[in-house]
């Protein structure tokens, strides 16, 4: 399994490798409410802090491939997501660091982005395992991950430390290659109403 930059196109969105060129447009959709549950967050609300945060935690992060979530119709970046904790030898990776501007939360933007990433991971890269992690207190994220068909593996207590120094209990989920066909079918049914 070799993970390399790629563009992934859907009906509503496309995923393109995240660069500093995306930062000004993404900054317009960022705000404190977006980063309530993320592990690491910008040091303040300034453009510079946002740019530095994206650069350090996504663009330059080791074993990662971050993407900008771009609306297909307008070309506007509205969030980011990506592969992280890439373990090529074990044919495993994580999908995470996802955030989406409030105007597109609860739409098909997130399910389509996950569909594109999962399809690429399992069908192109040959992944055996894709995992997801979220904060124990982020029930909304847990429900979204479960809708993908991912299996809850448990809670890792005090597994990570947030930017503010507080410990985070982390919920671990995964999908394995054998589960992908059924998960794919469910996701495609959810996305079918897209024009």
What are the sequence ranges of the domains in the chain? 8-191
Closest CA to 177 of 129, 132, 124: 129
* Beta bridge pairs of residue 15: 8, 69
What fold is seen in the domain 8-191? Aminopeptidase (3.40.630)
Q: Which pLDDT score is estimated for 163?
A: 83
pTM for this entry: 0.95
Q: Which pLDDT score is estimated for 31?
A: 81
How many angstroms separate the CA atoms of 8 and 67, rounded? 9
Q: In sequence order, what are the residues at sequence separation of 6 or more whose Cβ sits closer than 8 angstroms to the Cβ of residue 31?
A: 45, 102
How many angstroms separate the CA atoms of 156 and 68, rounded? 29
CB contact at 8 A, 98 and 67: no
**Digitized pLDDT (tens) for each residue of the chain, 195 residues in all:** 999 999 999 999 999 999 999 999 999 998 888 877 777 878 888 999 999 999 999 999 999 999 999 999 999 999 999 999 999 999 999 999 999 999 999 999 999 999 999 999 999 999 999 999 999 999 999 999 999 999 999 999 999 998 888 999 999 999 999 999 999 999 999 998 766
Q: Which residue has the tokens 């660091």?
A: 97
* Sheet strands (E) in 72-128: 77-87, 92-100
């Amino acid at each position: 399994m070799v993970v390399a930059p790629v563009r992934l196109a859907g009906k509503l969105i496309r995923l393109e490798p995240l660069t500093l060129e995306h930062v000004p447009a993404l900054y317009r959709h960022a705000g404190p409410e977006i980063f309530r549950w993320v592990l690491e967050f910008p040091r303040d609300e300034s453009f510079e802090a946002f740019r530095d945060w994206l650069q350090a935690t996504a663009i330059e992060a080791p074993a990662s491939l971050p993407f900008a979530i771009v609306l297909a119709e307008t070309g506007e970046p509205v969030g980011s997501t990506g592969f992280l904790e890439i373990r090529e030898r074990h044919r495993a990776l994580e999908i995470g660091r996802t955030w989406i501007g409030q105007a597109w939360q609860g739409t098909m933007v997130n399910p389509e982005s996950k569909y594109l990433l999962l399809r690429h991971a399992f069908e192109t890269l040959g992944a055996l395992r894709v995992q997801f992690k979220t904060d124990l207190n982020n029930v909304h994220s847990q429900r979204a991950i479960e809708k993908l068909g991912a299996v809850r593996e448990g809670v890792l207590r005090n597994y990570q430390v947030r930017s503010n120094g507080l410990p985070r209990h982390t919920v671990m989920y995964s999908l394995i290659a054998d589960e992908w066909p059924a998960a794919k079918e469910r996701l495609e049914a959810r996305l079918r109403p897209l024009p």
